[in-house]
Structure 1
Amino acid sequence: MDLDRWTGGLASRLGDMVEDVTGVFREPVVRLGVTGLSRAGKTVFITSLVANLLERGRMPQLRAAAEGRILAAFLQPQPDPTIPRFAFEDHLDSLSGPNPTWPQSTRSISTLRLSLRIAPSGLFSGLAGTGAVHIDIVDYPGEWLLDLPLMSQSFAEWSATALAAARSPARESHAAAWLAEADATDSGRALTETTARKLAATFTAYLSTARLAGLSSVAPGRFLMPGDLEGSPALTFSPLLPPDRAGSDSLWRAFEARFEAYKRVVVEPFFRNHFARLDRQVVLVDALGAIADGPRAVDDLRTAMAEILSCYRPGARSWLAPILGRKIDKILFCATKADHLHHSQHPQLAAFTEALVREARDRAQFSGATTGALSIASVRATVEQTVERDGRTFDLVRGRSLDTGEEIALFPGKLPADPAELLAAARQGAGTWLDAGYANTRFAPPRLKGGEGLPHIRLDRAAEFLIGDRLR
């Protein structure tokens, strides 16, 4: 088994090496990974990024666009025929129709290749002809990243960690039914499929309830997105209390084998075939949603982000990367839905996001990667408004409610200048914010006038960070 894994990894790296070496003589390809946990807005981000690169009137902060050096942009056929194509046209129709709606969220991996015809810059630009840069966008659920830390854990270690987390104040109410079953189960007794299915079902229900409550750490991720593995033994297990003695036919040994099968069949192929081949990464964070859900949701998001970012192998680009394993050399953290705040609070939102991922970001920078943090709105759904009431001034945002279709104005609460105020309460396990409250609402996409592109906030700055250096 270890030999198979080693040779599979070697074959993948050799394939990358061949592709990169031949890429010197062909047009360069940048593999951009887009991920984020539930509600972060991955599908909208990719749709708006591609739409605004095809029509670049709203991209002044992308230097190559501002200088007029992007001569053409067009979508190419699928770069990998084994991966579903990102349904860009369908998602764009949803956002730009007469009654716009948000597209369906990411449920599985997909890709899209956008090609840009570039005029070179620099001192000798007049002597060089135009060239093309291909951007391969890889869209995958952030929940799948939560599975990668499982690779370094045994079933016993994972069970102990998962049970301890389920008994925490943030989760115990959601996990009560599953914990009662797990506590009453003798994991040393002989396996029965009835018991296995019941434990797996209540464990999955706990993960689903926790995610709906705004919690972020919900591994194993495929339990909530099973696809064609639904009902298979690879998804029919749960953490267990260790037995005094475990025979070969015991529930413990069976779940241990299924846990290892999950890593082998689900986690390893994703890492080897997709994640390990990325060059650049954008991580989308629904920071406002977590803040509105309370301190425990913020602390859970902080923990989940640390778990996710520990999986990256960041580092400076090198021609040895295909041999040693490709390294991500740029990571951008984006707090999405900045249009739910007045622009005067966008710096506080970006600062909170930076503080949320600071430990992992520092580790990435130490390894040689360039990192950044922005507050963005992939599609701007609101306009700003300032009102005075009782001698006080309030900065609001106004838009259409997704639930009622009516125009509403929102003051979501004032974020503190120092993000430590929020993170300290989160780390201390506070049930609510002591001195403030934060509201969250769902705005509908804007109704666009004829000929208008998708409006956004700082999407052009995000593009400049992620690919600007490859367009020169």
Structure 2
Amino acid sequence: MGLFDITEGIMRGVGNAAGAVTRPITAPFSDPVIRLGVTGLSRAGKTVFITSLVANLMDRGRMPQLRAAASGAIQMAYLQPQPDDTLPRFDYETYLSQLTATDPKWPDGTRQISELRLSFKVQPTGFMAGLQGVRTVHLDIVDYPGEWLLDLGLLDQSYADWSKGALARCAGRPLGDDYLALVAQTDAAGPLEEPAAKALAQAYTAHLNASRAAGYSDCTPGRFLLPGDLAGSPVLTFAPLPGTDFARGTLGRELARRFESYKKNVVQPFFRDHFARIDRQVVLVDVLGAIHNGPRALDDLRTAMAEILGAFNPGRNNFISRIFSGRRVEKILFAATKADHLHHTQHPQLTAITQALLREAKDRADFAGAQTQAMSIAALRTTVEETVDHRDGPLDVVRGRLLDTGKQAAFYPGALPTDPQHLLAPARAGAADWGSGDYKIMRFAPAPLTLRPGEGPPHIRLDKAAEFLIGDLL
């Protein structure tokens, strides 16, 4: 079943939801609602991003590039009960207390979908100031794991097509050879035996977890990594096998059926209930981590970004606009996180690399429609900048508290190239390493904070990201 095949089911199932979502934006006497989707790939920092974004929108002293904050148009921002009672609430207060404690710590990562509503009292400025009074604008932030977004690419794939790609990706990745060895010992055309199906699923899941830990991005199916209450169910007990047209009653035929069930019962409901209702989207990307993990990890990130843009592609998914009366994702921000791990003199290189990754992804996905942008940010700044004496001359470094030891350390990750192709070319060629280049990353702990009244946590370009995502609607 392909992506187009679910049109009729969505039209039946969400006709009422579509009207409910659209009315707050189009009705003349209703408060405008912005639904912002936040996701990320491979430890990109979604929880910290949302927590710092909300804190800085409530206390806007560090948000000069958000025009509505700088001009005073935002008079007040406050949290309200979320509109969807069936979703867990994003635990903002707990996460903020962890980041601002005397001994701060990183909060746990995203493992399920959650939501938070932040409301603004906005006074129009300029020509509209004399025509309109204070209005309320609601920002509904939807947090979900990046693996779920990558799963949308499965909707256009058959089991045979997915298996072919998944098996090809196994080679050279952690535990991939172990899984391929198990496949070689398995008779896919033989009768279904549940222990064999379970062994394959467990081995493939171990491979996906190890690959994600090593910095690879394209690790689908996403629920294999975050199974929740589906753990052990048949819908998660399948794995890729070579071959096509398996006979009835065989292992291969049953795993193919379960793959289709996964798309129907897991991926499609997420698309129908959540993804298709997003107005703006931010995708957080750990570009520095991918560079550190080598050319193959960086090229995998490039492929993953193309898959993400394909999910938003109105050329492929144009029926979404018809279903939701023209609503579609209008803006997508790809944000390279952990910019505080670099001296600011290297931020242009990080942004250029992210833009190059995004450009290639757009070309590969033949993407058109929504406005996209790439930038480098740090939702919570954990370091300070210094220049130290080195045998080759002054060296620009960052200093912070190491996560593993708690000690202060100065860090220089290596000089990123000014030409992104110096990284992308060996990544596309499948190089084993960067050759003469040596790029490192360090795990920093959050720094103790002393915030003045009206200030949110320190950041890098979070205000610029907010201006791109929601500034036009404030």
Give the TM-score taking structure 1 as reference length: 0.94
CA 1:365–1:181: 2 relative to 1, 3 Å? closer
Does the CA-based 8 Å contact 1:34-1:139 persist in structure 2?
yes
Q: Secondary structure at the match of 1:355?
A: helix
CA 1:338–1:140: 2 relative to 1, 3 Å? same
Cα deviations across residues 404-452 of structure 1 (Å, max 9, x unaligned)? 0000000000000000100001111111111210111110101012546
Which stretch shifts more, 15-24 or 437-446? 15-24
Does the CA-based 8 Å contact 1:47-1:88 persist in structure 2?
yes
The one-letter code of the counterpart of 2:275 is F
Deviation of 1:38 after TM superposition, in Å, equals 1.9
2:218 aligns with 217
Counterpart CA distance in 2 for 1:254 and 1:201 is 16
The one-letter code of the counterpart of 2:284 is L
1:395 aligns with 396
Structure 2 runs not aligned, ≥5 long: none
Cα deviations across residues 364-405 of structure 1 (Å, max 9, x unaligned)? 996332211111000000000011222412100000001000
Deviation of 1:242 after TM superposition, in Å, equals 1.7
Deviation of 1:326 after TM superposition, in Å, equals 2.9
2:299 aligns with 299
Counterpart CA distance in 1 for 2:412 and 2:290 is 17
Residue 159 of structure 2 corresponds to residue 164 of structure 1: no
Deviation of 1:126 after TM superposition, in Å, equals 2.1
Residue 266 of structure 2 corresponds to residue 262 of structure 1: no
Partner residue of 1:17 out of 5, 16, 19: 19
CA 1:450–1:30: 2 relative to 1, 3 Å? closer
Counterpart CA distance in 2 for 1:198 and 1:11 is 36
Residue 131 of structure 2 corresponds to residue 127 of structure 1: yes
Deviation of 1:270 after TM superposition, in Å, equals 0.4
Which stretch shifts more, 270-279 or 300-309? 300-309
CA 1:104–1:196: 2 relative to 1, 3 Å? same
Does the CA-based 8 Å contact 2:24-2:31 persist in structure 1?
no
What do you get for the CA RMSD once the two structures are aligned? Answer: 2.2
Q: Secondary structure at the match of 1:147?
A: helix
CA 1:160–1:368: 2 relative to 1, 3 Å? closer
Structure 1 runs not aligned, ≥5 long: none
Q: Secondary structure at the match of 1:60?
A: coil
The one-letter code of the counterpart of 1:418 is D
1:377 aligns with 378
1:203 aligns with 204
CA 1:9–1:321: 2 relative to 1, 3 Å? closer
1:248 aligns with 248
Q: How many residues were matched structurally?
A: 466
1:464 aligns with 467
Does the CA-based 8 Å contact 1:146-1:308 persist in structure 2?
yes
Q: Secondary structure at the match of 2:124?
A: coil
Counterpart CA distance in 2 for 1:436 and 1:153 is 38
Cα deviations across residues 23-65 of structure 1 (Å, max 9, x unaligned)? 4220000010111112111110000000000101110110010
CA 1:463–1:309: 2 relative to 1, 3 Å? same
CA 1:124–1:205: 2 relative to 1, 3 Å? closer
Does the CA-based 8 Å contact 1:237-1:259 persist in structure 2?
yes
1:329 aligns with 330
Identity %: 57
CA 1:22–1:298: 2 relative to 1, 3 Å? closer
CA 1:14–1:325: 2 relative to 1, 3 Å? farther
Give the TM-score taking structure 2 as reference length: 0.94
Does the CA-based 8 Å contact 1:401-1:443 persist in structure 2?
yes
Deviation of 1:333 after TM superposition, in Å, equals 1.0
1:89 aligns with 93
Residue 278 of structure 2 corresponds to residue 278 of structure 1: yes
CA 1:321–1:128: 2 relative to 1, 3 Å? farther
1:344 aligns with 345
2:77 aligns with 73
CA 1:446–1:258: 2 relative to 1, 3 Å? same
Counterpart CA distance in 1 for 2:46 and 2:194 is 37
Counterpart CA distance in 2 for 1:364 and 1:237 is 28
What pairs up with 1:311-330 in 2 under 5 angstroms?
311-313=311-313, 323=324, 326-330=327-331
